[in-house]
Structure 1
Amino acid sequence: MSVMSSGRCLTVALAVALSASACAKVPPTEKGEKEAAMSEDSSQSRTIDGYTYTTAPVVAKLGPHRYAFPANLYDDQIGPSIGGGVALTLMWPGLKAAPPGTRPTRTMADHYRAVTASIDYLDAISASDLLPRQTSTEATTEGGSVNRNDPRRRLDLRVPVAEQFGLTPYAIDEQRMALFSKAYEKQFGQPATRNPRMEDEWYIARAADGQLATFIKCDQPEGGQEGLVIKGDLLVPDDAPKVASCTHYFVDSKDNLAVSLFYPRVLLKDWKAMEDATRATLARYKVQ
């Protein structure tokens, strides 16, 4: 049995989509699409190419739980994914759903503002075990393997540095990295492959009891530029060649759910608001 449901494929697809949009930087239009917050009018609808998009509730199943999310809250503005995964999209800065029928015609400016949440029911492990597994190598390497001691992939081998946005960044320990590289070369006969520019930044938030509550991995800025800058309610491309992005992990322990958020790195400052909005959405639309 897998750690997550088949919705894992959805997570990969969303990450690829975000990466693709990162490379396709275009200036926002004056219209900016600035998709408004979701209307509470359940009769609101829009027909495009013969399909009518609405705000009517569509039931999603996550393990034994049921949620009646408005159709336009789903990433495709239709409903849950085939195979059981659920993807929702909240539009920054209001962190509400876009009006129905705007997904097919969304501009790049609004793709930048779309915060996507991939939600899976954990059918093999407890939610409390997920973040420790994601920040270690025990579940992905064999005992005795030199790769188990890779400082890039273990939180306990990284070094905490000054807090940012209420998060603690954990940097790669270069002394440990040097020791790992020597051990790797001794075991495999060649140096460990490394591209420091491509190594993720790690950010951690902990619960009051010290347990991991949030784990965020982000691309590094290039030359201090993140690919986008905030101008009012818009995200505008800067001179960087690509958009740096973040993947943000947390869990719903009560319902044993794993949540992954995808958004541009320039929005990292709003990580708590995005996490809180996602939790509130799950609580609001849960029916069983």
Structure 2
Amino acid sequence: MTSRVVRTLLLAALLPLAACARQPAQTPVELTQTNEQGCTRQRSVGPQDAYADPAPLKQACVGPYLLELPQNYFDNQIGTEHDGSFGLALEYPSLEAFKPGDRIGLSVDQSLRTIDIDFSYSDRFTPMQILERLSTPQEYDPESPTRSLGARIEGEPQYGLTPYYVDLVRVRAHYRAKGMGDDMRVMKAASNMDWFISTDPAGRIDRLISCTSREQTDPGYAWMNGIPTKTSTDGMARCEHRFVLPDHHIIVKLGYLRDLLPQWQQLESRASKLFFEHKVPKELEGHGKAGSADVERQRY
């Protein structure tokens, strides 16, 4: 056997070893995630089963606060997104979580029955400042008739709230002056919101509920035996309800059908209860049950 052949055989034998040597070391899977406010949650690692019953506990952070609750309370029914963001979803009229797996392949009628819940924490602005910004015209459109209480039509109190109805005549004149045609979406009643507010003793807005304008008379759904059913393909009349948990620097945002506005206190109470009942005390953080099954799967 010539020396050239020997060198060729040796090279062929060493090439796989060299390739293996160049393989980068595998990065260990992060089992926890800590946010800017120092809240550390256990991550969900590996395949997740939205149909698991009973639903396993999952953790989520709202600013510095750690929540731990069954995964079927999450809108995706498996826990937070990869970046830690999340939303919760309750089913009307029970105001309980959907059954495990029920929201996979969500139907239109299931969407109608959904009460959306989002918790937001800010250490830059107080919740009251955020609500003030939401109800004040911005620099890019200081004359906006939709972002000002003064440009709205104040109504008689309803359900313990003061209504400020959008003035559609004023809105349309405002946007026509900007060159917009009457066929633009912003001109439609369905795209404009009435406000229902409450204020604290100092007169600051502490609750802001925006609902599809009362002039949109067709809500897009009907009620059958206490359950909403879709009747139109042209949107749905809904409300976006914000209130504050001032001692925790949190704004809670709810989403629900406009017809449920008279029940706003019940919906708000349920959302607050979810936060406080599932908030992990500081002394117990790091000792929760959430994610234990995921850790076991990753370990083996």
Do the two structures share a fold, i.e. TM-score over 0.5? yes
Which residue does the alignment assign to 2:187? Answer: 195
C-alpha deviation, 1:176, in angstroms: 6.9
Superposition map of 1:105-144 within 5 A: 105-137=105-137, 140-141=138-139
Q: How does 1:1-288 map to 2 (within 5 A)?
A: 52=52, 54-137=54-137, 140-141=138-139, 147-172=141-166, 185=177, 190=179, 195-197=187-189, 198-220=191-213, 224-238=217-231, 241-288=234-281
> Which segment is superposed worse, 114-123 or 278-287?
114-123
**TM-superposed deviation, 1:246:** 1.6
Kindly name which structure, 1 or 2, has the bigger radius of gyration based on alpha carbons.
Answer: 2
Check whether the contact 1:81–1:87 (CA below 8 A) recurs between aligned residues. Answer: no
Identity %: 25
Q: Is the 8 Å Cα contact of residues 158 and 170 (structure 1) preserved in structure 2?
A: yes
**Structure 1, unaligned runs of 5 or more:** 7-46
Q: Give the equivalent residue in structure 2 for 1:29.
A: none
Q: Does structure 2 conserve the Cα–Cα contact (< 8 Å) formed by 1:167 and 1:203?
A: yes
TM-score by length of 2: 0.67
Within 2, Cα distance between the matches of 1:225 and 1:69? 37
Aligned residues: 233
- The AA in structure 2 aligned to 1:159 is I
Q: In the aligned structure 2, how far is the partner of 1:228 from the partner of 1:126?
A: 37
CA deviation after TM superposition for structure 1 residue 236, in Å: 2.2
* RMSD of aligned Cα (Å): 3.2
Cα distance in 1, alignment partners of residues 205 and 146 from structure 2: 18
Q: Deviations over 1:68-126 (max 9, x none)?
A: 12111111111123333230001111211112122215443222101111222213211
Higher relative contact order (CA 8 A, sep 6+): 1
Alpha carbons 2:50, 2:78 under 8 Å: kept: no
Q: Decide whether aligned partners of structure 1 residues 94 and 208 sit closer, same or farther in structure 2, where only a CA change above 3 A counts.
A: farther
Deviations 1:22-63 (A, max 9, x none): xxxxxxxxxxxxxxxxxxxxxxxxx99897464222111111
For residues 169-223 of structure 1, the C-alpha deviation after alignment (integer angstroms, 9 at most, x for no partner) is 1024579769967xx95xx7x5798615232222112335533122111223566
- Long gaps (5+) in structure 2: 1-34, 37-46, 282-300
Deviation at 1:228, TM superposition (A): 1.7
Aligned CA distance change for structure 1 residues 244 and 170 (closer, same or farther; 3 Å): same
Question: Aligned to 1:279, what secondary structure does the other structure show?
Answer: helix
